[in-house]
Amino acid sequence: MGLDDDIAFFERVPPLAALGKQALRILAIGAETRHLQSGAVLFYAGELADGGYVVQEGSLLLEAGTLSEGNEITVGPGTLVGELALLTNTVCQATAIAKEPTVVVRISRNLFRKMLEGYPAAAEKLRESMTERLQVWSTELAGVKRVLETDEKH
């Protein structure tokens, strides 16, 4: 894919879409493409994370760091995995395994932070987007809390 194709791809990734074309151009230039064979591990739960990955082709199985059932999901093209690691030091919360031949684009934290420094408008858009998402999550969590409290009373 060419640079314009990479930018257009990033524009379709919800957490990145709001950043704007010029900011995405920086990410597209500095990002690293990785090809994974089926069954290959991209990262393990508990490892230090230094960036995020966008699934470009194929799919990843994300297995939570525990052995309890139901703690896995499959993500496909256009999914950003490790969003928090773009901004801060964190550890991987899951093990990521390629379910099929898969292509991911790695965005390092260093690259992402430099892009935000160079494009303050993109940083502001990201902050606004994250604030909106946190408000939705907070509302959803409050709903879950109400359900759990109701169940405890019965």
pLDDT for residue 154 = 67
Q: Per the structure, how many domains does the chain have? A: 1
134 within some domain: no
67: pLDDT confidence band, cut at 50, 70 and 90? low
78 within some domain: yes
148 within some domain: no
* Residue range of the domain that includes 37: 3-122
CB 78 within 8 A of CB 16: no
pLDDT for residue 66 = 58
Average pLDDT, the chain: 89
Q: Is the pLDDT of residue 107 over 90?
A: yes
- pLDDT tens digits, one per residue of 112-153: 999 999 998 888 888 888 788 778 878 888 888 788 888 777
Rounded-to-integer distance, Cα 88 and Cα 98, Å: 25
Beta strands per DSSP E along the chain:
32-36, 41-43, 48-49, 51-57, 60-64, 72-75, 80-81, 90-91, 94-98, 102-108
Q: What is the CATH number of the domain that holds 38?
A: 2.60.120.10
- pLDDT tens digits, one per residue of 76-103: 999 999 999 999 999 999 999 999 999 9
57 within some domain: yes
